[in-house]
Amino acid sequence: MPATHFDDLFRRPPTLEGRRVRLEPFAERHRAELLGALDDPAVWRWVKVDPSGDRAQLDAWFDDALAQTAARQEFAFVTVDLADGRPLGSSRYLALRPADRGLEIGWTLVAPAAWGSGANSEAKLLMLEHAFEKLGCARVEFKTDAMNERARAALAALPSRFEGIFRKHMLMFGGRWRDSAWYAISDDEWPQTRDQLQRRLTRQLDARQDPATF
């Protein structure tokens, strides 16, 4: 069985850099600018909590990300814009399963100003590359609210494979039950997924550089 290298996440926390963004390990120095970038209800619409507009709750979310990473339950990244060095979002490896060579990519939050810019596509590419090619994953999975059509379209376009709906999977803020849609990519599928995602990212970044594109 191929070796896994999950411990490297914590022994040598990776920084992953592309053309548009750099993923840095979650750290205290990111707090103020990251929370400012994510303080919009649209960012939190489809996740379990909505701390927007409440600095104490935003701080609690940030503290939890640090604590989960310190406990080796998750590994959180801050997505930094290479153009100006400012945080524009975050994402995490979670549900770490070294014995089964699997993990989930989730808690992906992106400032609305960066939607459609290629930032999220590149962050996904960087995290998937690291998961399959450095950590030795056989499977990477995703879940999203079954009603989140934007996220489901993006996951299908990676492409990742839809695996079904978990009904009443999560109790959301406000008391709503969320059905979660699950997607996954296997190591067998990764080479084709990587090529398609790279092509899509190139189109997004080239369009962003075209001043006639709005």
Is the pLDDT at 174 greater than 60, yes or no?
A: yes
- Indicate the pTM of the whole model: 0.91
Q: What residues does each domain of the chain span?
A: 8-209
Is the pLDDT at 99 greater than 80, yes or no?
A: yes
Confidence (pLDDT) at 212: 39
> Which of these, 121, 123, 119, lies nearest to 76 by C-alpha position?
123
The residue-averaged pLDDT of 44-63 equals: 91
Is the pLDDT at 5 greater than 90, yes or no?
A: no
Pairwise CA distance, residues 118 & 128, whole Å = 15
Helices (H), 104-159: 119-133, 149-157
Confidence (pLDDT) at 167: 96
- CATH homologous superfamily for 8-209? Gcn5-related N-acetyltransferase (GNAT) (3.40.630.30)
Pairwise CA distance, residues 172 & 49, whole Å = 7
At residue 173, the 3 state secondary structure works out as helix
- Phi/psi for 18 (5° steps) reads -120, -150
